[in-house]
């Protein structure tokens, strides 16, 4: 090779893969955790770069999830709370209200009005508003970001022992650093670095849990076919297996309760719609549209099911954050199993299929003449907003990856820590949302009906702490890597931890630990917890909480008379915990799972301050899926009073529960609630004895 050719090739190599200065911290991923982590690194005086496969920063927080899932907001601190404060500031500007007056929207989604302006927050927002806040952070802190750079997962991670030296993207660019953070939903960097991880549901036996694994026979929320009045056949000709199975129904054995599998909970787009004609684009008909994909939805609608618009949650400027709701909705159940481990090309195909499915569902309901006219006409008033996702056909750029890979790290968070059955070591942040898994599969029951499986809603009994060890790999697998998003948790625990505010919290924590690991020349597994704790507290993080367990919970001690919460009741049979309702007594409520009728009961026993007449109230959380015929027995001084309570109906305004009547009592008082022959979910929240006037 002559000298001229040598220099030409050398120049070409430099042009293809230009050298990049080494950074203190390299962050791979473009989620909300990436931004808070980068801000924290900068605030601590170190250099940082975000290497993002995404063009848009913020992940799902700027991708449509504007109706924030928070739980108890009191445990959201640090940069996460600052983000929601900046959202509040955005909506104090008149120019932020283009399609709606601020007064029309009111104070929805805001922090307590008594809080001063320096601390006020807003938890409901448009995607474009969230992206603006994230980009403001980038500009304000002069954070270097490279976008549309995809990790070479096969050979792009260079290691020296258990330390990552550099990462290389598919474009050939290499990024060296002292510390690395994987802030992707998929856990691509930690997997490529050789860390242990898990995909799917663990068996309950793995971590001694109750709610992990396959959930055949468990029906929570309203996302199952028990929510409609008629059984739905999965066959093309109803009731005829020989006619073939309809699309989007699995013919595989669903498995046994409590066993593990490789399936993951369903994904969807948290899509944004508007009903403002001037800002509305009609729902598009996607390429490859196939009306037969929605035959089961048509059968559901023909039963009279009327909850289609239940999760069109309103955000500012007459827009929505729209989520899955019901037995056949926007969750593309069973179509994402390959996603966590798939190649980028295969993932793009899966994302495109989810978009086609979801847009096709909207087109079907808005245009197929078999759909009930009332529903069809109402949906035609909605469309995609012209001023959101303008470079992506006005459709969200971020699929809701509810779970993918999960690190098996130095410590694994399980439902036992979340439910306070085990203490959590070395708290570095908190969560509080209900343990929430969406459906995992849609299968055919032995009776020949279609059913969904995997939906779970379990109370955490208030905020819980998250262990530092769940953010770091096992010793020997990554001494300079932290994983704040695809972190170390069981499937069922991750169902609560996976909320966007928590990812912001853990991003800030991971960055703080990374800086200390650099300064103290330590592997991330050996960062001094007292030092880390003190800095996190200094920066406004909340690591421990002794206040009310839920902002939605009523304190029984502050209620009139004598109140016995469901947690104090003597239980017969297996009762589940719930906490998704707007208000309830204590930390949640008990429900029978709409199962084992006649084999479950709750006995509420009270010690009254004095003998006399008391009015008795029975508290429950009403919903359309509740039983209309719950047997409730009051045992009083003169005998027994049998009542039947319709839990579909709410209690009278201002009352905690429905009155069962006024009775004479001695020192002891008892109420028995049963699920004998009931026609829906039986819920029991508490019993109240109020002295009669």
Q: What is the per-residue DSSP string for 374-441? A: HHHHHHTT-BEETTSSTTTTTS-S--B----EEE--SS-B-HHHHTTSSPPSSEEEEE-S-EEE---E
Q: Across the chain, which distance is largest between two alpha carbons, in Å? A: 110
Band of pLDDT at residue 14, cut at 50, 70 and 90: very low
Phi, psi of 428 (to 5 degrees): -130, 15
Band of pLDDT at residue 9, cut at 50, 70 and 90: very low
Give the 3-state secondary structure of residue 556: helix
Q: Does the pLDDT of residue 17 top 70, yes or no?
A: no
Band of pLDDT at residue 117, cut at 50, 70 and 90: low
Separation CA 67–CA 323 (nearest Å): 10
Q: Does the pLDDT of residue 665 top 60, yes or no?
A: yes
**Bridge partners for 603 per DSSP:** 570, 672
Q: Does the pLDDT of residue 69 top 70, yes or no?
A: yes
663, containing H or E segment: strand 658-665
Residue-level pLDDT at 7:
43
Separation CA 237–CA 246 (nearest Å): 9
Mean pLDDT to the nearest integer, 471-489? 98
The tokens of 647 are what? 């839990």
Residue 612 structural domain: 553-691
Mean pLDDT to the nearest integer, 301-325? 95
Band of pLDDT at residue 116, cut at 50, 70 and 90: very low
Residue-level pLDDT at 11:
41
| Geometric angle at alpha carbon 13, from 7 and 17, rounded to 5° | 150
Q: Does the pLDDT of residue 6 top 50, yes or no?
A: no
Q: b or e along 599-623 (b: 16 or more beta carbons within 10 Å of the residue's beta carbon)?
A: ebbbbbebebeeeeebbbbbbbbeb
Residue 477 within any structural domain of the chain: no
Mean pLDDT to the nearest integer, 561-581? 86
Residue 298, Cβ density class (10 Å: 0-12 exposed, 13-18 middle, ≥19 buried): middle
Residue-level pLDDT at 10:
43
Residue 673 within any structural domain of the chain: yes
Separation CA 202–CA 212 (nearest Å): 6
Q: Does the pLDDT of residue 16 top 60, yes or no?
A: no
Residue-level pLDDT at 118:
64
Q: Does the pLDDT of residue 61 top 80, yes or no?
A: yes
Q: What is the mean pLDDT of the chain?
A: 93
Band of pLDDT at residue 285, cut at 50, 70 and 90: very high
Residue-level pLDDT at 536:
98
Residue-level pLDDT at 111:
67
Q: What's the CATH number where 622 sits?
A: 2.60.120.260
Number of domains present in the structure of the chain: 1
> Which of 114-128, 369-383, 389-403, 672-686 has the weakest average pLDDT?
114-128
Contact in structure between 313 and 67 (CB atoms under 8 Å): yes
Band of pLDDT at residue 584, cut at 50, 70 and 90: confident
More confident site: 136 or 223: 136
Helices 500-520 and 78-90, axial angle in degrees (round to 10): 130
Cα Rg, the chain, nearest whole Å: 27
Residue-level pLDDT at 4:
53
Mean pLDDT to the nearest integer, 371-398? 98
DSSP string, 328-363: SSSS-TTS-TTGGG--HHHHHHHHHHHHHHHHHHHH
Tens digit of pLDDT for each residue in 322-374?
Answer: 999 999 999 999 999 999 999 999 999 999 999 999 999 999 999 999 999 99
> Which of 537-551, 646-660, 662-676 has the weakest average pLDDT?
537-551
512, containing H or E segment: helix 500-520
* % pLDDT > 90, the chain: 83
Residue-level pLDDT at 551:
63
Residue 418 within any structural domain of the chain: no
Residue-level pLDDT at 153:
98
Mean pLDDT to the nearest integer, 456-470? 93
Mean pLDDT to the nearest integer, 598-616? 95
> Which of 105-109, 170-174, 569-573 has the weakest average pLDDT?
105-109
Residue-level pLDDT at 19:
54
Q: Does the pLDDT of residue 220 top 50, yes or no?
A: yes
Residue 612 within any structural domain of the chain: yes
Band of pLDDT at residue 570, cut at 50, 70 and 90: very high
Residue 656 within any structural domain of the chain: yes
Q: Does the pLDDT of residue 114 top 60, yes or no?
A: no
Q: Tally helices (H) and strands (E) across the chain.
A: 14, 35
Give the 3-state secondary structure of residue 165: strand
Residue-level pLDDT at 596:
85
Q: Does the pLDDT of residue 625 top 90, yes or no?
A: no
Contact in structure between 223 and 333 (CB atoms under 8 Å): no
Q: Does the pLDDT of residue 550 top 70, yes or no?
A: no
Residue 326 within any structural domain of the chain: no
C-alpha 510: how far from chain center:
21
**Helices within 266-343 (DSSP H only):** 295-301
Helix, strand, coil tally for the chain in percent (to 5): 25, 25, 50
The tokens of 288 are what? 């490859």
Report for 17-31, 221-235, 677-691: range of highest mean pLDDT: 677-691
Residue 585 within any structural domain of the chain: yes
The tokens of 211 are what? 């709610």
Residue-level pLDDT at 2:
54
Q: Does the pLDDT of residue 391 top 90, yes or no?
A: yes
Give the 3-state secondary structure of residue 5: helix
Residue-level pLDDT at 647:
95
Q: Is the dihedral of CA 26, 31, 35, 37 positive or negative?
A: negative
Residue-level pLDDT at 219:
84
Cβ atoms within 10 Å, residue 548:
16
> Which of 104-108, 420-424, 623-627 has the weakest average pLDDT?
104-108
Band of pLDDT at residue 447, cut at 50, 70 and 90: very high
HSE-CB at 248 with a 13 A cutoff on CA atoms is 25
Band of pLDDT at residue 520, cut at 50, 70 and 90: very high
Residue 172 within any structural domain of the chain: no
Q: Does the pLDDT of residue 426 top 70, yes or no?
A: yes
């Amino acid at each position: 090779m002559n000298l001229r050719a040598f220099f030409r090739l050398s120049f070409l190599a430099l042009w293809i893969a230009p050298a990049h200065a080494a950074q203190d911290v390299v962050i791979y991923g473009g989620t909300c955790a990436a931004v808070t982590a980068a801000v924290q690194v900068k605030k601590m005086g170190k250099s940082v770069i975000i290497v993002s496969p995404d063009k848009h920063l913020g992940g799902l927080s700027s991708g449509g999830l504007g109706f924030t899932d928070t739980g108890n907001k009191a445990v959201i601190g640090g940069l996460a709370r600052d983000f929601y404060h900046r959202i509040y500031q955005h909506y104090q500007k008149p120019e932020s209200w283009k399609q709606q007056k601020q007064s029309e929207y009111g104070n929805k989604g805001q922090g307590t009005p008594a809080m001063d302006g320096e601390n006020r927050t807003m938890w409901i927002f448009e995607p474009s508003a969230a992206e603006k806040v994230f980009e403001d952070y980038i500009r304000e802190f002069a954070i270097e970001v490279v976008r549309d750079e995809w990790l070479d997962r096969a050979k792009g991670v260079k290691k020296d022992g258990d330390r990552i030296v550099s990462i290389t993207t598919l474009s050939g660019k290499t990024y060296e650093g002292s510390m690395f953070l994987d802030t992707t939903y998929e856990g691509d960097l930690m997997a490529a670095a050789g860390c242990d991880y898990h995909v799917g549901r663990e068996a309950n036996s793995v971590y001694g849990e109750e709610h992990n694994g396959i959930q055949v026979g468990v029906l929570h929320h309203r996302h199952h076919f028990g929510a409609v009045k008629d059984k739905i056949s999965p066959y093309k000709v109803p009731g005829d297996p020989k006619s073939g199975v309809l699309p989007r129904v699995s013919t595989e054995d669903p498995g046994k309760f409590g066993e593990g599998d490789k399936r993951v909970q369903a994904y969807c787009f948290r899509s944004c719609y508007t009903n403002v004609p001037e800002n509305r684009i009609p729902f598009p008909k996607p390429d490859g549209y196939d009306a037969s994909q929605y035959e089961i939805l048509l059968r559901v609608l023909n039963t009279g099911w009327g909850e289609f618009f239940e999760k069109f949650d309103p955000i500012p400027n007459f827009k929505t954050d729209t989520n899955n709701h019901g037995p056949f909705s926007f969750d593309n159940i069973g179509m994402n199993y390959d996603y966590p481990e798939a190649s980028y090309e295969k993932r793009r195909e899966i994302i495109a299929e989810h978009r086609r499915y979801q847009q096709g569902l909207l087109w079907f309901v808005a245009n197929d003449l078999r759909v009930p006219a009332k529903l069809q006409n109402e949906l035609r008033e909605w469309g995609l907003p012209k001023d959101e996702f303008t470079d992506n056909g006005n459709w969200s750029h971020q699929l809701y990856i509810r779970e993918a890979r999960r690190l098996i790290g130095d410590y694994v968070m399980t439902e036992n820590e979340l439910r306070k059955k085990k203490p959590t070591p070395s708290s570095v942040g908190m969560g509080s949302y209900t343990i929430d898994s969406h459906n995992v599969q849609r299968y055919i029951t032995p009776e020949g009906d279609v059913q969904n499986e995997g939906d779970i809603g379990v109370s955490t009994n208030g905020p819980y702490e998250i262990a530092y060890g769940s953010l770091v790999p096992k010793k020997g697998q990554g001494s300079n890597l932290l994983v704040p998003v695809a972190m170390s948790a069981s499937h069922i625990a991750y169902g609560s931890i996976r909320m966007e505010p928590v990812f912001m919290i853990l991003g800030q924590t991971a960055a703080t630990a990374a800086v200390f690991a650099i300064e103290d020349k330590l592997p991330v597994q050996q960062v001094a917890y007292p030092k880390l704790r003190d800095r996190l507290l200094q920066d406004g993080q909340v690591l421990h909480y002794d206040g009310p367990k839920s902002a939605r919970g009523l304190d029984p001690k502050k209620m009139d008379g004598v109140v016995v919460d469901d947690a104090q009741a003597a239980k017969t049979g297996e009762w589940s915990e719930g906490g998704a309702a707007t208000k309830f007594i204590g930390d949640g409520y008990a429900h029978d799972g709409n199962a084992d009728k006649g084999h479950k009961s709750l006995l509420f026993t009270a010690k009254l301050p004095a003998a006399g007449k008391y009015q008795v109230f029975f508290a429950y959380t009403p919903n359309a899926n509740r039983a209309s015929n719950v047997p409730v027995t009051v045992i009083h001084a003169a005998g027994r009073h049998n009542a039947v309570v319709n839990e579909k109906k709410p209690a009278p305004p201002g009352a905690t529960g429905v009155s069962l009547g006024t009775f004479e009592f001695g020192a002891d008082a008892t109420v028995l609630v049963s699920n004998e022959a009931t026609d829906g979910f039986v819920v029991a929240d508490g019993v109240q004895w109020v002295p009669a006037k």
